[in-house]
């Protein structure tokens, strides 16, 4: 079913990478750098006894070797050989669970300024969290692009209306009656003016008649035209 496909893009259990490269806390920071470079990854969960105990990033490794900034200092690899993963990892990292939604992950990443979230299963009464996978900012961005339908052909319209209960459903039903298939909807209140702005992505290429009909129905509507930019 179509809704099942959308749901898969919403949950951490379907977004996460399950085959995760991990290290133990007693590995060296040099080992961690080698894993990052070999597998082209930026984050390594640190696991002990099957439980997540930390998260190590390439930024942690850079910060762990300040001697690189000093003339005549030791090479980075020599500095990192002297450090254990437990010395530089982030302990008790922010995590998500398999049933968490992509919006929650995006909010956590944005507010906490982080790029990866280990996905864990927390068992009642356990002393730790079992690592199930990892979700990165790239995974979240890919899911949001898919959910908003920006990769699909069609058009976008903006509709403004008084922010009252049921207004989104009301406008969506009006659009449906006009024969347009709604691909996605973004909605945001404008508290200053008491309005709600809704961005509808439609499957039709030319929504001009739909915009006119919405205007006649009393809404403020506009066709959002975005010039195509060549990919670099």
pLDDT of residue 220: 95
Q: Which residues are 202's β-sheet partners?
A: 155, 182
The per-residue pLDDT for range 115-161, each reduced to its tens digit, is 999 999 966 544 568 999 999 999 999 888 887 777 778 899 999 99
CATH 2.160.20.10 fits 2-145, yes or no: no
Provide the Cα torsion 33, 38, 44, 45; round to 10°.
-120
Helix (H, G, I), strand (E, B) or coil at 162: strand
**In the chain, what are the domain boundaries?**
2-145, 152-224
pLDDT per residue as tens digits for the range 161-175: 999 999 999 999 999
C-alpha–C-alpha distance, residues 161 and 94, integer Å: 38
Fold of 152-224: Alpha-Beta Plaits (3.30.70)
């Amino acid at each position: 079913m179509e809704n099942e496909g959308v749901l898969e893009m919403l949950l951490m259990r379907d977004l996460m990478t399950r085959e995760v490269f991990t290290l133990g806390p007693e590995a060296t920071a040099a080992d961690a750098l080698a894993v990052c470079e070999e597998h082209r990854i930026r984050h390594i969960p640190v696991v002990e006894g099957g439980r997540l105990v930390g998260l190590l990033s390439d930024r942690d490794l850079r910060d762990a070797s300040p001697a690189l900034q000093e003339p005549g200092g030791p090479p980075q690899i020599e500095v990192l050989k002297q450090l254990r993963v437990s010395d530089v990892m982030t302990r008790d990292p922010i995590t998500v669970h398999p049933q968490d939604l992509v919006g929650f992950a995006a909010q956590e990443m944005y507010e906490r300024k982080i790029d990866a979230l280990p996905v864990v299963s927390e068992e009642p009464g356990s002393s730790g969290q079992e690592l199930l996978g990892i979700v990165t900012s790239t995974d979240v961005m890919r899911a949001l692009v898919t959910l908003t339908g920006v990769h699909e052909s069609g058009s976008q319209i903006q509709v403004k209306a008084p922010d009252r209960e049921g207004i989104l459903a009301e406008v969506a039903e009006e659009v449906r009656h006009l024969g347009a298939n709604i691909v996605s909807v973004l909605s945001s209140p404008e508290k200053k003016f008491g309005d709600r702005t809704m961005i509808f992505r439609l499957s039709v290429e030319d929504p001009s008649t739909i915009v006119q009909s919405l205007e006649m129905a009393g809404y403020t509507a506009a066709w959002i035209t975005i010039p195509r930019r060549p990919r670099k």
